[in-house]
Amino acid sequence: MANPFQIDILDRKILDLITLDARIPFLEVARKCQISGAAVHQRVQKLVQAGIISGSGFNINPKGLGYMTCAFIGIQVNLISTSTHDEVFNRIREIPEIVECHHITGRYSLLLKIFARDNEHLKNLIVEKIQSIPEIISTETFISLQEGFTRTLPVK
């Protein structure tokens, strides 16, 4: 379903500025856009209400906390019922090292993004926490050698 909210040139400029630096003061955005701070605040609030902007905060660098291994894990679940899938999802949600969980199509039911201190920690997470969930039939792990880039969608 398409978003009925129409983004104009000024909204795009505001979005460009705040996605480059989420800590930029609204008054600085207003100065660069040649509008009032109140106008920036109102527009940002409308973008939040329209669901175009969500959340704000700091990104934590996993390596800065000693998590040197990033991996993606495909999981096959024995789907006896929908409650089984929900149970597996809820058990996975309890593992703090799993930072993303996607319901996907294809060979796997779920795709996880996980951070571990090292390969031994990753192995323990897979064997002791993930594969110990009885409804999980199999897993396949892909270790990320290096993140090429990460970005937000362009505002067009």
Q: Which of 75, 63, 62, 142 is nearest to 103 (CA)?
A: 75
Residue 1, pLDDT score: 46
Least confident stretch, 35-44, 80-89, 94-103, 105-114: 80-89
Q: How confident is the model at residue 17 (pLDDT cuts 50, 70, 90)?
A: very high
Q: Answer whether 150's CB lies under 8 Å from 2's CB.
A: no
- pLDDT category of residue 155 using cuts at 50, 70 and 90: confident
Rounded average pLDDT over 49-73: 92
Domains and CATH numbers, the chain: 9-49 (1.10.10.10), 62-144 (3.30.70.920)
Long-range contacts of 18-23 (CB under 8 A, 24+ apart): 18/44, 18/53, 19/152, 19/155, 22/56, 22/57
